[in-house]
Amino acid sequence: MQKLLAIASTIDKMREFQHSFEGIYQVKCTLITNNVLAEVGSFVPECIVVYVEGAMRQKLFSMMDFREDKRFRDIPLLLIADEEDRETFVSNVSPEPNYVLPEYTRMESVRVAIDRLMASSGIRKHILVVDDDMVALKVVKGYLDKDFKVTCVKSGAQALKFLEKQFPDCILLDCYMPEMDGPTTLRKIRIMDKGGTLPVVFLTGNSEKDMVMRSLSLHPSGFLLKPVNQKELIDKLNELV
């Protein structure tokens, strides 16, 4: 499910966004006067929709900080505002919106604009693949390179070190690895900041049923049998991210 961040200047509009978009996108809603960066946290959307009514520069300080963060500068932004509020927003918040709609645009038309921006953004989801088998890493990377940004590491320890700096959209994690197996690695991920809800799919062999049972309490997002089928793998990732 695609991720949408909806930011509004009024509580009523924020609730309307939530009601209109929930179930269609993975949506996070907040008020423009909140600390938007803190509210967003590790959530990186594919599109941002902002509703502005009665804009004043001091009310936009949080949006200025948010848009200056390098994680969000290139994400397409749809602004809903009248002409006066549009001018205030554009003169204070950089980069400028990718698309602007009038204040009273119907939600059906807003959704069409959001879908078009998402389709044209070209932002690829980031997948971390963890496996000690170099051949398996090469195969999975070859399966995914066209549609996803892929990072490969050879151990649970390397995965944890990577996650100290950045979080992917999903992890493909081999169950059986020397020194630190998949369940142990996931247990450590789950106690990291932002690691509690990170989608993790185990890659398992036929003989690893005991490991699967050990993993259930860690709430993985699924299991795929090795050697992995390309269509099954891509379908699973599209379902999660």
Same domain, 154 and 214: yes
Same domain, 112 and 183: no
Same domain, 28 and 102: yes
Question: Of 120, 154, 179, which residue sits at a domain end?
Answer: 120
Same domain, 85 and 182: no
DSSP tag of 22: B
pLDDT (0 to 100) of residue 86 = 93
pLDDT over 70 percentage in the chain: 97
Same domain, 75 and 142: no
Same domain, 154 and 196: yes
Please state the pTM of the whole predicted model: 0.55
Tens of pLDDT, residues 210-239: 777 778 888 899 999 999 999 999 999 988
Question: Of 102, 120, 138, which residue sits at a domain end?
Answer: 120
Question: Of 105, 120, 135, which residue sits at a domain end?
Answer: 120
Spell 135-157 as b/e; 16+ CB within 10 A means b. ebbebbeebbeeebebbbbbbbe
CATH code assigned at 219? 3.40.50.2300
pLDDT (0 to 100) of residue 207 = 66
20 has pLDDT over 70: yes
Tens of pLDDT, residues 171-211: 999 998 999 999 999 999 999 987 888 999 999 886 667 77
Same domain, 116 and 8: yes
Question: What domain count does the chain have?
Answer: 2
pLDDT (0 to 100) of residue 32 = 93
Same domain, 157 and 50: no
Q: The domain containing residue 41 runs over which residues?
A: 3-120
Highest mean pLDDT among 25-29, 38-42, 146-150, 203-207: 25-29
Same domain, 64 and 146: no
Residue 237 makes CB contacts below 8 A (sequence gap 6+) with 125, 127, 144, 148, 170, 201
Q: Can you say how many angstroms the Cα of residue 14 is from the centroid of all Cα atoms in its chain?
A: 20
Same domain, 149 and 177: yes
Q: Which residues pair with 174 in a beta bridge?
A: 203
Same domain, 170 and 74: no
- Given a contact cutoff of 8 angstroms between Cβ atoms, the answer to whether 62 and 56 are in contact is no
Place of tokens 């695609």: 2
Tens of pLDDT, residues 95-149: 889 999 999 999 999 999 999 888 776 667 889 999 999 999 999 999 998 888 8
